[in-house]
């Protein structure tokens, strides 16, 4: 999909350098993927310590 954006050139260049990305499109796609990933992680963190799975890790790891 083609989109026209007004982006700070210095920020875009810094992001490309930091991620070793060669194209503007690639760095924007990478940034969006990271945003979605971090948002999902944040949403999962609210369940930390609240879910009782009753899982036997030794059995799952095939340790008898």
Question: What band does 57 get if pLDDT is binned at 50, 70 and 90?
Answer: confident
Q: Is residue 38 part of a domain?
A: yes
User: What pLDDT score was predicted for residue 20?
Assistant: 97
Please, is 64 exposed, middle or buried when counting C-beta atoms within 10 Å of its C-beta (0-12, 13-18, 19+)?
exposed
What is the C-alpha separation between 23 and 30, in angstroms, rounded? Answer: 11
Q: Give the total number of structural domains in the chain.
A: 1
Domain encompassing residue 53: 9-60
Tell me whether residue 27 is in a domain.
yes
Give a yes or no: residue 1 inside a domain. no
- Output the pTM of the full model: 0.71
Structural domain contains residue 2: no
30 contacts: CB under 8 Å, gap ≥ 6:
19, 21
> Does 3 map to a domain?
no
Query: Is 25 among the domain residues?
Result: yes
Percent of the chain with pLDDT over 70: 98
Q: What is the pLDDT of residue 64?
A: 62
The C-alpha atoms of residue 15 and residue 34 are separated, in whole angstroms, by 13
Report pLDDT digits (tens) over 26-45.
Answer: 999 999 999 999 999 999 99
Q: What average pLDDT score do residues 4-15 get? A: 96
């Amino acid at each position: 999909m083609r989109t026209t954006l007004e982006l700070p050139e210095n920020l875009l260049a810094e992001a490309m350098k930091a991620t070793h990305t060669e194209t503007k499109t690639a760095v924007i796609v990478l940034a969006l993927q990271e945003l979605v990933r971090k948002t999902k992680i944040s949403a999962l963190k609210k369940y930390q310590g609240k879910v009782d799975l009753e899982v036997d890790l030794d059995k799952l790891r095939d340790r008898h």
